[in-house]
Structure 1
Amino acid sequence: MRTPFRAGITALAVTSGALFGIAAAAHAADPTILYVQATSASCSDGGPGTATQPFCTIGAAAAIVTAGQTVEIGTGTYRERVTVPRSGTSEQPITFRMAPAGGRELAGPTAGFVIDGQHDIRLERLQVTRSGDVPALDIRDSSAITIQGGSFWLDETATAPAIRLVGVTASRLNAPFINGWPGGGGLSMDVATTGVVANTVTARAPGLTRAVDGSFGIEVAGPGNTIINSIVQGYGGAGIMIGPDAAGTVVANNWVYMGAGYGIHNHGAAGTAITNNLVRSRCLDGIRVDGASSTVSVQNNVLVANGHLGQTYCQGGPTDGVELGIYDDAIGDTVADYNDAYHSQANSPSVYSWNGTPMGLAAFRTASGQAANDKEAGLSKDHQDSANSEAPGYQATDRSGKARADDPSVPNTGAGPVTYADRGPIETVRAPTALTIVTANITTSTVTVDASTSQPGWLPITSYTFSFGDGKTITQTSPLITHRYKRPGKYTVLTTVTADDGLYSSRTDLINLLPWTSKRPTLGRPLKASAYREP
């Protein structure tokens, strides 16, 4: 019985290898891809840029790439500063991407990409290390630029931000990772940059937490930009900085934590929406609105332990920070409500600041006429089902993409059309948990799966789906099922339990229906468990 089984696997491996060979040949002949691989013995900057004779440098490929083509960067260390010399089109962008695996990076103090005066360019999975006095990505006077993923590590002596946008419009950054140091910043967007969405940016500068040095994780100086679903750690000036000319900026679903400066600082901008953010353990104010700021909305945020509350990295700085501070002209019409602020203890006398005067929640309500629905509570359950879904900048999903979910055990005290949205960037979701008892009978080639011990989430489990690994899948309302296999073998059984709200969980068990040898068969050994929301 075992020999045919091994033979079957071996045959599959040979077949797979043949298929990969065919795919590789077709890929190599693709005229829309220009290949770069510095480690290839056959690379040549005078060559055709094929998979078999790639370019040695990225610059050589950039010199000839045209609309609709992709430059794929393979293994090697590229000490280059690449300038993209032409544009793509909306239907046929120019793409530069690093291969999905293998050691490949642009490295050195001037390494990186420059896009100046172009449009419809995509940069995917770029890896840039040790950049210094110039940005790793320097994008100027350009539009329809997409940055997809990638990582950008600054040198310890860097003085420039990792990514700088100057005069950039209608562009998007998706999930770039930035690692900074003192003197450098994360993402900088100048006053002429507008219509940019920075989504799921990670900007970290753990070395910037001991002194206020003026650096910013994300700096927004121009109007009409959006910062959502991002993570910022460190930076001495502010985690997220919104300058005076950055009217109409949306800052939502972000997590800003640890660092010597402010968490989110709106310094004079009008119409900013600061919504559903978590700001934690900053040395200065968690959220600060000051200067000539007007019509700013600060709602649904969670603020915890900001303002020099004993953190060792706050040494040497001011000690009077608060969770939420509104100052100067901003006291005229800033809307602050549905926030949850906790300043190390209940009934703290310095959780808020109103034009420079620290005060507790009750005093802030009296002085400002705001915060009628604010809470002073430090537990995650206090954030649930209580946000304002009509707040400017409110997102229908949380920072991980989960839709808003209603916990039936928590009263819905929020406002707007979705009264059960949570405060902060994470929506609490409790899915069911799939649990199984699996019994196999080698004599009859059957397996019985009992999922009756599965635990419900917020709502009861309404269906059970069993996939037996032999092409047979059954969905039913009963948690118990027996299935007969046509032949002995090893199979994986996937059990999925789905609740009435569409949340579900899956569990995989390994079934051995081969004849016994010197060892007993493995029955019902769990491989993994996972939980998802149906799309």
Structure 2
Amino acid sequence: MKRFKVLINAGIVKGERAVDEHVRRLLRLADRVGALDAPRAWSHDVPTPTDEARREQLLRIAASGMTVLRNGDTVPLGRGIARCPMSSGGYTIRRRPLSGARARTGWSLLRTLEGQGAGRERHEDPPMTRSGAFGQGPSPRRSAGLAACVAVAALGLASVPLGAAGGAVTTLYVGGSGCSDTGSGTATVPFCTIAKAAKVAVAGQTVLVASGTYTDEVFPWHSGISGSPIVFRPATGASVTISGAKHGFTISNQSWITVSGFTIQASTSNGIYVFNATGVTLSGNTVRTSGQRVSGATAYGMYLNSMTGSVVSGNLVTDNSASGIFLTNGSTGNQVTGNESSWNAYGYVRNAVGIDLRAPGNVISGNRVHDNEDSGIQSYPGGDSNTIVGNVSYHNMGFTTAALSNCSPPPTGNTGGCITGDHGIDDFGVTGSSVVGNTVYDNVSSGINLEGVASGTSTGFTIANNVAVDNAIGCPDGVGGTVKCPRTRGNIRVDSTSQLGTNVDSDLVSLSTAGTMMVWGSTSYTSMAAFRTASGEELRGLQADPRLANPAGGDFTLRAGSPAVDSADSGAPGELTTDAGGRPRVDDPATVNTGIGPRAFDDRGAFEYQPPTPSQVTP
């Protein structure tokens, strides 16, 4: 009250009426927050922040409280986004420089309103001035109103992905005659670049691209929503190549984006780069020749960083200058299925992998990985609790005369070159994963390898139902012959620190020439029987010719009479109800069922034998 007395005496507060009004406001506030022993009855049935009703409410708040200061067809006016009511003398943008945090913060907010998002901020500094009064700012009341309007709009737009409202177009077109990036993206006036369409596309819209070679990096500015993604794909019958961009597609801090059917080549960095995104679908793309095989210039085919709940399927990822498909930095809950990853190589160090897992909790299934510079599939620290099931990993093996580090020369032949390749499936220093129902053939080192788990740590690892054949027995010598392979041996190997908590069973192994069949700890075994006796593992393991159709030609299906038929453990963790080709499990009437688990007729390896007249059983 002393403060009020001073203000009254100074003439700033005019008498008791003003004091009464201030006190009245304080009492009203106290009553509303329950400070006067009358707690406010709060509603408990309001929508959650992710509820569609709340999303619609926030969108309406943003629409009704928004002033568009500048719009380059980014904010979709006419799709439910309205302007704030403005009196005469509205605001315009003057390009008079400001400095310091005020300029950066204010302009960043305006750029956010225009849909720029993270990574697209422009550090221009135009202040807001009142039209007709150049150099003079707005009144305090108008400043406060405009600030509130902008803040509410920013909050609403940040909370609710922009979507194609009722009556809005659902398809944007790119390429062809009459195109213009200042146009509307219609079929008659399409955009010229995919990048332009990516700036304006919103949830529920599909970007259709005409045939041609495009050189722009595609960087979506908005997210889709579950059930209404933003889709990028070639028009029906079109062949679309993105060539020479930094990345073909960059999906950063945006979600529910689908990219399907593109050829991405010769990017200067990773062909497809995803960061901090969920609900992404990458399907049916060809990604090749990313980066250069020179130190400091290499690039992955697909670099998937902090990507969750997404699908990578049916892509060809080949001839890149680092690993083909790379999951890292907590990428989890993803399905990597039905891809082919091959011929990936750094060219100066033996290190490129078909599918490289440095992140946990993903399903890797039905992929074909071959002829990579290092292993076919690998899980390294960070890549715990992955399910690696139904894949074919073969011939990750080669010879080069280039000077590669980490690469062993043959003992005879062209000793100036070195033997590339490594394991079919390599797990190093990881726990909790399942390697189930894969076919692993003719790789340089041990076909399925588990090593490097900290001593005394239970691995929680399952290796089951795999077919592993002719691994680490014959490698190229560079002059047309073969030599003994370098590095580790065996179709299946578990090193001395990785035995605790590891379960190995129901695998089928075979060698066409004498050699190391299995490794347990530091001991090698030339037969499954000897391995079983010494380790207590593989109680249902088989050593026999699996009768693969044509492995030298890349056909790993089973022929009639294969011991792999109807003999798997269908209850093994991660075992699928379909095979690597998407075919269902079937009961071969000519084979006695020796399998166990919910179905006694699942086959070992990646493929289910399909008898000429199958008796198909629905699982």
TM-score under structure 2 normalisation?
0.62
Counterpart in the other structure of 2:533: 366
Q: For each residue in 1:316-369, what CA deviation from the matched residue of structure 2 results, as whole angstroms up to 9, or x when unmatched?
A: 961652110001321112111111111224xx4511111232212222112221
1:211 and 1:403 map into 2 onto residues whose CA distance is: 43
Between the aligned partners of 1:139 and 1:156, the Cα distance in structure 2 is 17
Q: Does 1:303 align with 2:468?
A: yes
Gaps of 5+ in 2: 1-166, 397-420, 548-561
Structure 2 residue aligned with 1:383, among 557, 561, 564?
A: 564
- 1:305-324 to 2 correspondences below 5 Å: 305-311=470-476, 318=486, 320-324=488-492
Q: How does 1:241-280 map to 2 (within 5 A)?
A: 241-259=378-396, 260-280=421-441
Change (3 A) 1:364 1:70: same
Query: Out of 523, 542, 557, which is 1:357 matched to?
Result: 523
* Correspondence list, 1:195-206, <5 A: 195-205=333-343
Q: 1:399 to 1:49 in 2, by over 3 A?
A: same
Three-state SS of the structure 2 residue aligned to 1:195 is: coil
Amino acid in structure 2 at the alignment position of 1:149: G
SS in 1 for 2:563: helix
- Aligned partners of 2:477 and 2:603: how far apart in 1? 31
- Provide the alpha-carbon RMSD of the alignment: 2.3
- Distance in 1 between residues matched to 2:501 and 2:232, nearest whole Å: 46
Pick the aligned partner of 1:338 from 506, 509, 523. 506
What is the CA-CA distance between 1:71 and the residue it aligns to? 0.9
* Secondary structure at the counterpart of residue 280 of structure 2: strand
Q: Structure 1 pair 363/411, CA: closer, same or farther in 2 (3 Å)?
A: same
Q: Which moved more, 1:316-325 or 1:241-250?
A: 316-325
Matches within 5 A, 1:447-462: 457-458=613-614
Contact 2:344-2:352 at 8 Å conserved across structures: no
Please tell me the residue identity of whatever aligns with 1:388. Answer: D
Return the offset for 1:376. 1.2
**Alignment-derived partner of residue 494 in structure 1:** none
Secondary structure of 2:594's match?
A: coil
Which secondary structure state, in structure 1, belongs to the residue aligned with residue 449 of structure 2? Answer: strand
**1:152 matched to which residue of 2?**
287
Distance in 2 (CA, whole Å) between partners of 1:236 and 1:284 is 12
Aligned counterpart for 1:165 among listed residues 291, 304, 319: 304
Amino acid across the alignment from 1:89: I
1:237 CA displacement: 2.5
1:34-433 maps to which residues of 2 (within 5 A)?
A: 34-37=172-175, 40-108=176-244, 110-132=246-268, 134-155=269-290, 157-158=292-293, 159-181=298-320, 183-205=321-343, 213-259=350-396, 260-292=421-453, 294-311=459-476, 318=486, 320-345=488-513, 348-360=514-526, 361-380=528-547, 381-431=562-612
> Among the aligned pairs, what percent are the same residue?
30
- What SS does the corresponding residue of 2:180 show, helix, strand or coil? coil
Structure 2 CA distance for partners of 1:310 and 1:253, relative to 1, 3 Å: same
- 1:285-327 Cα deviation digits (max 9, x unpaired): 1000111170110000001111042445787961652110001
The 1:424/1:372 distance shift into structure 2, 3 A limit, reads same
**Contact (CA 8 Å) 1:308, 1:320: kept in 2 or not?**
no
Following TM superposition, by how much is the alpha carbon of 1:416 offset from its aligned partner in structure 2, in angstroms?
0.7
Contact conserved, 1:244 with 1:270, CA < 8 A, in 2?
Answer: no
CA distance in 2, matches of 1:376, 1:56: 60
Aligned partner of residue 216 in structure 1, secondary structure: coil
Aligned length, in residue pairs: 403
For 1:23, the equivalent position in structure 2 comes to: none
Over residues 241-265 of structure 1, what are the superposed CA-to-partner deviations in whole Å (9 max), with x where a residue is unaligned? 1123222100001001111111101
Is the contact made by 2:345 and 2:352 (CA closer than 8 Å) also made in structure 1? no
Q: Is the 8 A contact 1:191 1:246 kept in 2?
A: no
| CA–CA distance in structure 1, aligned partners of residues 508 and 236 of structure 2 | 41
Rounded Cα–Cα distance in structure 2 between residues aligned with 1:144 and 1:196: 9
> Could you say which structure has the higher strand fraction?
1
Describe the SS at the equivalent of 1:269: coil
Matched residue of 1:215: which SS?
A: coil
**Distance between the aligned counterparts of 1:243 and 1:415, measured in 2?**
31
Structure 2 CA distance for partners of 1:131 and 1:321, relative to 1, 3 Å = farther
Between Structure 1 and Structure 2, whose CA radius of gyration is higher? 2
C-alpha change, 1:155 and 1:140, in structure 2 (3 Å) is closer
The structure-2 alpha-carbon separation of the partners of 1:274 and 1:81, relative to structure 1 and needing over 3 Å to count, comes to same
Give the 3 Å change call, closer, same or farther, for CA 192–107 of structure 1 in structure 2: same
Give secondary structure in 1 for the equivalent of 2:575.
Answer: coil
Structure 2 Cα separation of the partners of residues 92 and 136 of structure 1: 25
CA distance 1:276–1:35, shift in 2 (3 Å)? same
Partner residue in 1 for 2:157: none
Change (3 A) 1:319 1:65: closer
Do the aligned residues in 2 keep the contact of 1:194 with 1:222 (CA within 8 Å)? Answer: yes
Whole-Å separation in 2 of the counterparts to 1:341 and 1:152: 34
Which amino acid in structure 2 is aligned with residue 303 of structure 1? A
Amino acid paired to 1:321: R
Matches within 5 A, 1:22-37: 31-37=169-175
Structure 1 distance, partners of 2:290, 2:272, is 14
Q: 1:429 to 1:212 in 2, by over 3 A?
A: farther
